[in-house]
Each structure stands twice: as C-alpha cells, then as structure tokens.
Structure 1
Amino acid sequence: MKLSAGERAFGYVNTLLMIGLCLVTLYPFLYVLFASLSNATNFLQHRGLLFMPVGFDLGAYKAVFDNPMITQGYQNTLLYVVLGTAINLVMTAIGAYVLSRPKLYFKNIIMFFIVVTMVFHGGLIPTYLLVNDLGMMNTMWALLIPGAINTFNMIIMRTAFQGVPVSLEESAKMDGASDWTVLFRIIIPLSMPVIAVMILWYAVGHWNSYFSALVYLRNREDYPLQLVLREILIANNTDSMMTGAASDDKYAIGETIKYATIIVSTLPIICLYPFLQKYFVKGVMIGAIKE
C-alpha cells in the first residue's frame, strides 16, 4: 500500500525522535566509557561534553584489576548471582505452580495474603532480628534466603503457568508422572519466555544489590562487587589503587578509576541482555494480557 506524503513525514519524524531518544539514553554510558579510557590529567582539564577519550590511557583499568578487592568482589558477586538466581527460580516456580492449579483449596485466601506482602513489610529492624536469630548473620545466606521469592515475579510466573493446557498435565499424570515431573519436564519447558525474564530480573537484582550486604556482612572478604564500588564512589576510597602516583595526580587518577570501576561492574549485565532480549517482550506481557 502506497503511503501518503503525510504518513511518510510522520514516519520520518518518529524515526528522528527515536534516534534522538536513543542517543540521549546512550550518551551517559558513552561518557563514562570515554572518561574511563582517558588520560587522568587531560580528562580533569576537559570541560563540556565528551565524544572520545581525551588522551587514550588504560591506566585506570589496570588500577581497577590490580585491586584485590575488585577481584574478590567479582568472585563473590558471581557466586551470589548464580546461587541466588537458582534459589529464586526454584522457589518462585514451585510457588507459582501450586497457585496455578485450578483445584487448589483456599486459593483466593492464599493469594490475598501473598499480595498483602507487596504492600506491607515488616521493616528493616524485624528482618535484621530474624536473620540474626536464624544464625545467618555475616553469611551469604543472609543475602539469598530472605528474598528467595519476589511476590510480583511469582504472580507473573503463575499467570504463565496457567496458560499451559491442563490436558498436558492430566495426560502426564495418567502415565504416572508426579507433580515434580509435571513442573520441571512439562510446565517449565513450555514457559521459557517467562523463565528467561525471571532469570534476567533476578540476576540483575542480585548483581546490583548492595544494601543487604551492607547490613548483614562484616567480613570484607565477603563483600559483593557493588559494595566495593560503593566504597570507591561514595566513600572516595581510591588511595589503595594509586600506589606510586604523585600526590598532585592522585585526584585526577581517582576520577578515572571511578569511571573504570563503573564500566567493569555494569558490563557483564549489559552483555547478558542481548541473549535474553528475544524472550523479554513476550515474557513481560504475560501478566498484562491474562488474569
């Protein structure tokens, strides 16, 4: 169908607006990237927008990777992300499967109390006391167990599970399959779009989390990467990463180190997203199109 002049103009304007929106959204990340690759002294003297590194220099990244706390933080965060996401998926899938069964007794009452937790929370102090009484203080379990299930994510997964035909479950049970077999060999494989979205949401949540570690952890060896990043950016603790630098250059080098640390801490999640993108739109729309 041939487009009119007005429709073509409307398409061009929309395209230009979207390009402009993408540039505005992308530029802050590019600024941080260019700043991290710049020479510290030249960058400190630069004013205005930054469209390329000012004197290419990888010294900031060398300082970041030479810092043992960064390396240890990376290892801790990877452990928390992998183990925490696995716990989240298993617990959320089990809860969603039970709540998606049509013959569950008192399902509406159970859902009411579950939804209430989205509005009302015990607060930090009762949670702290509970974690302490359970003996999880200063362990990684304090970061993983209290948030094992996200209510909103479970509701979305429950909606996805409800979309799987009941006849498949009935056929499997006629062949002797248990509920565990139905869940892990039928329901979950048929719900991969929402599972992929849950992996992304839970993994990003664990990767970016720092407050729970700040509250419950005392050993610096157990700090996640984001808590190390917080010390560098907020507490301005970069002196240990600038061994051998002249006192006049320490401030300038400290600034580029901060930008390099941001890139190092965000790049893995940015690289993960393209592999899950094809599932993302379909998965997040499930809760919006079916009750």
Structure 2
Amino acid sequence: MKVSVWGKIENNMLNVFMVLIILITLYPIIFVASSSISNPVSVLNEEVWLFPQGFSLEAYKQIFQNKMIWTSYYNTVWYTIVGTTINVTFTVMAAYALSRRSFFARNQIMFIIAFTMFFGGGIIPNFILINNLGLYDTRWAMVLPNAISAWNLIIARTYYQGIPEEIVESAKIDGANDLKIMYKIMVPISMPIIAVLTLFYAVTHWNAFFNAMLYLPSPELQPLQLYLMKILVQLSSEISEVAGESVVDSLPPLQLRYALIMVTILPIISVYPFLQKYFVKGVMIGAIKG
C-alpha cells in the first residue's frame, strides 16, 4: 500500500515537472509570436509579456515585400528537398550493404566511418577541399559534402541488421540481384527507418547556416537561416534592407526581427508535432538493436 502511495506521489511530481518543462520551452515561442503580431507601440513600450497586445500584421507585410526573403526561402526549400533526397538515398544504400554479413569488409569500413564521428579534418582543410572540387559558391556545396551522416548510417545499419538473412537468400534463389533486392524488398519493409532518416536530414538542412556562411558568399544562394542570422546579429542597417527606412521609423526593429523569426521557424514547427514519434522510434531502434 505504501509503495502504491509513493508511486502516485512520484507520478504527480513527474507530471508537474514535465508541465514546467513544457511551459519553459513554449514561453519563448509564444512571446516571439505574440510580439510579432502585437501593436508596434506596445512592442516598443515592452508591454508584451505573453499574449498579444493589440493586433498588427504590418511587420509580416513589410518582410514579405522584400525579394531576398523569397529568394532565401526558395534556397532553403531547395537545399532541404534535394539534400534530404541525396542523404536518404546514399545512407540507405550504404547501410544495407554494410549490414550484410556476406560483405567481407563491412567491419573495417564501419570502423573508418565511426572514426570520423570523433576526429575530423577541421574547417580549413574542408574549405580547401570544397574549393578544389569546384563546389565553392554553388548550391552543391550545401548538399554533397555531408551526403551521409555517420550517426544516421549507424542507425540505418542497425535496422537492416535486424532483418533476417533468409529474406535475402530467398530472393537470390528466385534470381534477384542485390540491386533488385534493395529496391523491391528492403525499401518497402524499411519505411520506418526511411521516415526517421528523412526527418533527421530534413530538420538538419532546414536549420543549416554554418556551411552556407563558409561556402556561399553570393546572397542569391544563401538559405533563410543565414539571412535570419544576419538580421539578428546586425542592427538597424540590415533591418533597413529588409523593410526600408520609412518602416524602421514606424515599426520597432525588434518586432521585425520577431516576425522574421516566426516566418523562419513556422514551417518546421507545423510538421514537427506530427513527426515527433519517428524521432522516438529512431532512438529506440538504435538503443534496442544496437
């Protein structure tokens, strides 16, 4: 009986703790969203604490009048779609090959791949490599150098190792080659891990800005996250480029920043709750079968 009472107390304490964590996590997002649509005067007077004070969409209107926002948005979508497609394709192909016991060099190759998780060449050697390959200041500098993530490859390989070898052997008896087995058998039964990889890679590409800062000096190739970083770091001179001098006089620069933040994070926030379970499943795959 005492154990049951203490169990209820622990559950209640855990629930309270989780509610506090949720509130702490949500408050910055709610504050930014409220500030972006509040009356500019209320934002300027710092009257917004949680919910909007008044209502105004002028900040969003002025932001979307700038063509660089649309260009950056297009670049981010392009990098996310093309990059994720390349990432998932190469990762699945490599993971399947390295999971087969018939592949004699799989352990040696996995050691080399795992080694890259702890040791890297550094920024300068990577920059020289990108430049020598002719990828500097091109879109491919954002998607080709990181075509495969070592961690995601390990997760996918662990998943494929859990698939019985008898399935592959039966397909080979029927005359199927490795390529046909991969795309006709393995891909359909591995949609859960493909969904995990797609989510991991898509979020990474959507939030990427560091490689763009190093390899993309041309503004017309830069993603939205890098443009947002410039807005957040620089002061009114950069705000003027987004909205114009007349808008800076009528709108608080901080409200323009809040609106731009919401424009940047809203797409990924909208889909993330529906795909959260795949993150958990991906972690469980690596934890249980690893």
Calculate the TM-score normalised by the size of structure 1.
0.92
Secondary structure in 2 matching 1:122: coil
Once the two structures are superposed, residues 208-243 of structure 1 have per-residue CA deviations (whole angstroms, 9 ceiling, x without a partner) of 111111111122111111111111111231112333
User: Which moves more between the two structures, 239-248 or 257-266?
Assistant: 239-248
CA contact (8 A) 1:77 1:224 kept: yes
CA contact (8 A) 1:88 1:149 kept: yes
Looking at structure 1, the residues matched to 99 and 31 of structure 2 have their Cα atoms a distance apart, in angstroms, of 46
The letter of the residue matching 1:241 is V
Q: Using the TM superposition, give the Cα deviation of residue 274 of structure 1 relative to its aligned residue in structure 2, in angstroms.
A: 3.0
Aligned position for 2:182: 183
CA contact (8 A) 2:62 2:247 kept: no
Once the two structures are superposed, residues 164-221 of structure 1 have per-residue CA deviations (whole angstroms, 9 ceiling, x without a partner) of 1111111112222221222222222222222111111111111111111111112211
CA contact (8 A) 2:240 2:248 kept: no
Q: Using the TM superposition, give the Cα deviation of residue 106 of structure 1 relative to its aligned residue in structure 2, in angstroms.
A: 2.6
Looking at structure 2, the residues matched to 79 and 103 of structure 1 have their Cα atoms a distance apart, in angstroms, of 38
Looking at structure 2, the residues matched to 131 and 116 of structure 1 have their Cα atoms a distance apart, in angstroms, of 21
Query: Relative to 1, partners in 2 of residues 1:222 and 1:260: Cα closer, same or farther, differing over 3 Å?
Result: same
Paired-residue identity, %: 45
CA contact (8 A) 2:73 2:224 kept: yes
CA contact (8 A) 1:194 1:284 kept: no
Query: Relative to 1, partners in 2 of residues 1:6 and 1:247: Cα closer, same or farther, differing over 3 Å?
Result: closer
Aligned position for 1:173: 172
Looking at structure 2, the residues matched to 180 and 195 of structure 1 have their Cα atoms a distance apart, in angstroms, of 17
Secondary structure in 1 matching 2:116: helix
Q: CA RMSD for the aligned pairs?
A: 1.9
Looking at structure 2, the residues matched to 143 and 208 of structure 1 have their Cα atoms a distance apart, in angstroms, of 12
Aligned position for 2:42: 42
Looking at structure 2, the residues matched to 276 and 166 of structure 1 have their Cα atoms a distance apart, in angstroms, of 30
Aligned position for 1:243: 244
Query: Relative to 1, partners in 2 of residues 1:159 and 1:4: Cα closer, same or farther, differing over 3 Å?
Result: closer
Q: Using the TM superposition, give the Cα deviation of residue 5 of structure 1 relative to its aligned residue in structure 2, in angstroms.
A: 4.3
Query: Relative to 1, partners in 2 of residues 1:211 and 1:62: Cα closer, same or farther, differing over 3 Å?
Result: same
Looking at structure 1, the residues matched to 14 and 132 of structure 2 have their Cα atoms a distance apart, in angstroms, of 57
Query: Relative to 1, partners in 2 of residues 1:247 and 1:26: Cα closer, same or farther, differing over 3 Å?
Result: closer
CA contact (8 A) 2:59 2:255 kept: yes
Query: Relative to 1, partners in 2 of residues 1:123 and 1:249: Cα closer, same or farther, differing over 3 Å?
Result: same
Aligned position for 1:17: 17
CA contact (8 A) 1:80 1:144 kept: yes
Looking at structure 1, the residues matched to 152 and 247 of structure 2 have their Cα atoms a distance apart, in angstroms, of 51
Secondary structure in 2 matching 1:277: helix
Q: Using the TM superposition, give the Cα deviation of residue 246 of structure 1 relative to its aligned residue in structure 2, in angstroms.
A: 6.5
CA contact (8 A) 2:64 2:70 kept: yes
Aligned position for 2:267: 268
Structure 1: tracts of 5 or more residues without a match:
none
CA contact (8 A) 1:197 1:284 kept: no
Calculate the TM-score normalised by the size of structure 2.
0.93
Q: Using the TM superposition, give the Cα deviation of residue 17 of structure 1 relative to its aligned residue in structure 2, in angstroms.
A: 2.2
Q: Using the TM superposition, give the Cα deviation of residue 78 of structure 1 relative to its aligned residue in structure 2, in angstroms.
A: 0.4
Q: Using the TM superposition, give the Cα deviation of residue 98 of structure 1 relative to its aligned residue in structure 2, in angstroms.
A: 1.1
2:261 matches 1:277: no
CA contact (8 A) 2:96 2:160 kept: yes
CA contact (8 A) 1:196 1:280 kept: no
Looking at structure 2, the residues matched to 248 and 107 of structure 1 have their Cα atoms a distance apart, in angstroms, of 63
Looking at structure 2, the residues matched to 185 and 276 of structure 1 have their Cα atoms a distance apart, in angstroms, of 26
The letter of the residue matching 1:57 is S
Query: Relative to 1, partners in 2 of residues 1:275 and 1:176: Cα closer, same or farther, differing over 3 Å?
Result: farther
User: Which moves more between the two structures, 147-156 or 173-182?
Assistant: 173-182
Looking at structure 1, the residues matched to 38 and 158 of structure 2 have their Cα atoms a distance apart, in angstroms, of 49
Looking at structure 1, the residues matched to 248 and 175 of structure 2 have their Cα atoms a distance apart, in angstroms, of 74
CA contact (8 A) 2:80 2:202 kept: yes
CA contact (8 A) 1:100 1:162 kept: yes
CA contact (8 A) 1:114 1:151 kept: yes
The letter of the residue matching 2:242 is M
Secondary structure in 2 matching 1:285: helix
Structure 2: tracts of 5 or more residues without a match:
none
CA contact (8 A) 1:131 1:142 kept: yes
Secondary structure in 2 matching 1:118: coil
